[in-house]
Amino acid sequence: MNVQTNAAPDKDKPMREIGIEGKMIGRYAVCTYYRLDAETVVKVFDPNVSYEMVIKKEIENARNAFVAGVPTVIPFDDVKVGNCYGKVYEMQNCRNLMDLIAEDKEHMDEYVKRFANMVK
């Protein structure tokens, strides 16, 4: 599916444009994460990702998870990186599930149960 990124979050207010050279920290299916500084990261979505269809829904999901008590980061700024949309997030000082499992394989069953309960 090739969706055009022509629906900006606020058409009356231009988005802040940022540069991200040399700061990549992860690449995923439709986005790339970059560290902006010690406290913030930006998630830059591929050019074919629509703000209205994907990014806006992700923001809503993050806020709903936070309100439900699930530890998550909240996006706080819309940005443009070239012809792509991006969301700026606060950095959390935490470790992800894969890191915990890699460091403590004897308790993998417990981590899997915790994850399953959280998803429920």
pLDDT digits (tens, 9 = 90+) for 99-108: 777 888 888 8
Give residue 17's Cα distance to chain centre.
18
Who contacts 8 (Cβ-Cβ below 8 Å, separation ≥6)? 15, 51, 78, 85
102 close to 86: Cβ distance less than 8 angstroms: no
Q: Model-level pTM?
A: 0.64
Domain spans of the chain?
16-93
Q: How far apart are CA 49 and CA 46, in angstroms?
A: 6
Specify the CATH architecture of the domain 16-93: 2-Layer Sandwich (3.30)
pLDDT digits (tens, 9 = 90+) for 17-58: 998 887 899 898 889 999 888 888 899 999 998 877 777 787
Who contacts 25 (Cβ-Cβ below 8 Å, separation ≥6)? 33, 34, 35, 41
